[in-house]
Amino acid sequence: MNRVITISREFGSGGRTIGKRVAERLGIPCYDQELIEKIEEKSGLAKEFIEERGEYTLRGGWLANAFADRSMNGLSVQDYLWTVQRKTILELAEQGPCVIVGRCADYILEGRADLLKVFIHAPIETRAKRIVEKYGESAEAPEKRLRDKDVRRSAYYRFYTDMEWGIAKNYDVALDSGTLGLDRCVDIITSLY
């Protein structure tokens, strides 16, 4: 079995950056934007749609997902995206060792790979500062955007996995990037690998 690291993360915690740095250090591929591009190729869905809906519920939460339009052979577009995303993640894990960021990869690969499941979190103040500096977010109410993203990501995870996102027992390790810093998180994950 291939050794795979999955990185689940709170928005603004630096999980994406940590995943890329871990992959670079280990000399293995990291699938984040690359995963989105592969899903775009296979699904025919727009990249922007995949970025927004491949980890987040519709506004309105799981109930909105449950009652979404089911015009694609009984599947909603969201369900179709989940199916393609799941298949793509399974294929990538079969190709060799890698890091996969987000998209319920920890759940999808459970029992199918030699898996290290990581959750990256940080205090909301640290994450707010990061999204303002890194992503050019407005300094006005970034905490509201963080909470909205986290709630929608959590609802998506619950809808497709029937598990709670961000609960430590669902992961092998949970790291506070605000306390440890990104570099120390990379050190810890690579040493665990």
Give me the average pLDDT of each 10-residue run along the chain (193 residues): 92 97 98 92 91 72 47 75 95 96 96 92 95 78 90 92 93 97 98 95
Determine the Cα–Cα distance for residues 160 and 62; give it in Å rounded to an integer.
9
The pLDDT of residue 74: 66
Report yes or no: 7 and 15 within 8 Å, Cβ to Cβ.
yes
Helix pair 142-161, 124-135: axis angle to 10 deg: 100
Determine the Cα–Cα distance for residues 46 and 89; give it in Å rounded to an integer.
18
Determine the Cα–Cα distance for residues 15 and 171; give it in Å rounded to an integer.
14
Alpha-helical segments (H) within 30-181: 33-43, 47-53, 61-66, 77-95, 105-108, 124-135, 142-161, 177-180
Query: Amino acid identity of 50?
Result: I
The pLDDT of residue 66: 47
Local structure of residue 6 (DSSP, 8 states)? E
The pLDDT of residue 139: 63
Neighbouring-strand partners of residue 3 = 114
The pLDDT of residue 62: 46
| Residue 19 φ then ψ, to 5° | -60, -45
The pLDDT of residue 68: 46
Cα→Cα distances 141→9, 129, 155, 166, 187, Å: 20, 11, 22, 23, 32
All residues at 6 or more sequence positions from 14 whose CB lies less than 8 Å from its CB, including other chains: 120, 122, 130, 177, 182, 185
